[in-house]
Chains A and B, each alone.
Chain A
Amino acid sequence: MLVDDVRKQFPALDRKVYGKALVYFDNAATIQRPLGVIDKWNEITSRSNANIHRAVHRMADEATEAYEASRNIVKEFIGAESREEIIFTSGATAAINLVAFSFGEAFVKEGDEVVVSESEHHSNIVPWQMMCQRKGAVLKVLHVDDKGCLDMDELDSLLTARTRILAVAHISNVLGIVNPVGEIVRRCHDRGVKVLIDGAQGVVHRKVDVKELDCDFYVFSGHKIFAATGTGALYGKKELLDAMPPYMGGGEMVGTVRFSGTTYAPLPLKFEAGTPNFAGAATLKPALEFAMSLRNEEISACEDAVKEYMFEKLSGDSRIKLFGTPDDIGDKIPLFSFCVDGVHHEDLALILDKMGIAVRSGQMCAEPLMDRFGVTGMLRASLAPYNTMQEAEYFIGSLDRAIGMLV
């Protein structure tokens, strides 16, 4: 499949904004949806809108089948051992909150420690802070260096006999750097520390095998990998999920309910209280199948060429300060956060918008990282496999023009 063929699958990419062809470079926030996903959503909502797992009628069967078929695909997609280890959530944030609560209840005591990195998204900081407050535990921070890489020397000194869990992004949503998660898991496990990996960006840009990684939890959002919004998954090792209490009660998460006490359903339903977003979850199957179909040499070569062009142009411009610059560009995804001397990120984003370019500006849900680099915000261009070299060239030219207007 060539990039042009890929683009044809995305109706949104064809549209114009302010009379100009859309250049969508905000993929790390949400990626556009291909036809297969749109069709699946329409099919479920127009033909098979029935509550899953309960009723015995045909429509409910169809909805349940679509929902569970997505669970199979998620399991294959990340290389999990069994379907029981895949919990559907409303996204990565919900998945982290679930683990922070239930793992905390089961395993964290007063005086225990939790480690997160300095480059985490707020969603991988705040749930842990809340849990630490509740349990009287201590939150510790793994710092990044000036290039944005995790300080791996600091890691060993952070892990103590009291450390229960470490939470880290597979790929930073601000720096675009692929963190050495395999190494982190090894070192943590050597010290008896569990590891949660926030794969919101990771699953989009790297092949993930949770068995090989040996991580204890891996979470991701559907809307960043072509599926509907309000979908996502939590992978957890079965023995851990079994030992953790439910996060929410009600719906299909029960075994039997008596006023004298309730027993819980087995995995994965134990963690799926209430009617889930079954129409959304059903789109995970076409979404992940589509993502897998893009994993070929031709598409990768195009993506790398665009990435290298963007990196060269942005890092070579003396007016621009690019954040997330690992020694090997192979450790970076096509995601570029930067500041321009004397120009406010919001002004740049507004002007680029009028040129038809969608980028993100602001703190990118990572205030501690903004503080680390001493900035109030950044501009972020994040690319997907459907973005072309032509778009990248238009972006670089437009950025130059916008800076010219603003200084």
Chain B
Amino acid sequence: MQPLLAVSGLQKVYEGSGRRVEAVRDLTFTIEPGELVCLVGPSGCGKTTLLKCVAGLLTPTGGEVLLEGRRVSGPPPGMAVVFQEYGRSLFPWMRVRENVELPLKQKSPLSRARRRELVAEALESVGLADAAGAYPWQLSGGMQQRVAIARALAYEPGVLLMDEPFAAVDAQTRADLEDLVRRLWRERGMTILFVTHDIDEAVYLGERVLVLSASPTVVQEQLKIDLPAERDQLHTRVAPRFAELRTHVYEQIQAAKRGS
């Protein structure tokens, strides 16, 4: 089977004012349809650069990104991104409903009724059916990020990219949102690439974890997470296997930082 997303030899070099920074050196990995893959790496390792290259928001210096066999040269249709900065990613001049609906208006021609249906479904599945008429700034941080997730869901993307989406919310909200992502992934059979700096989060969420090295970045290790599909905050996090996996990833990241 052809992978849904294939990244090969990806390199990104920033050049400016006489300084040359190689953020990403040589990244190669693939994602199969329906997978939930977490990318984890030491801070400053170019995770966001990688994600933006995959999303078509940045042009890589070398290598390529293929989505369903087609080379990504700009933001491809069928890909949605959830950013860390939900407050800036949602438009404060639009109500929640309009924020979720806007991308649909730009997508393939959908009837008005169908758009409404998708918006209502998406808000329902993140538990914000009541907030449709509110402005984003009237909601708490966790709710705002759920609106951003609903916007991505309604778009029905082939691949959902999430760039440290829960880094700016409190720990309890974060746990709820992690469970939300797991549930949506299982219910909808989506393909998700989830970038995080949090090792526990990566192991808890992912079916597979890609450990990145320090910048200039390469894939340090790929790890299959053999935890049961049914996961919950209470039991999964204290399971011996969870501890083993997180310790392993932690060691890999420490090794990556030392540059070995």
Are A and B physically bound partners? no
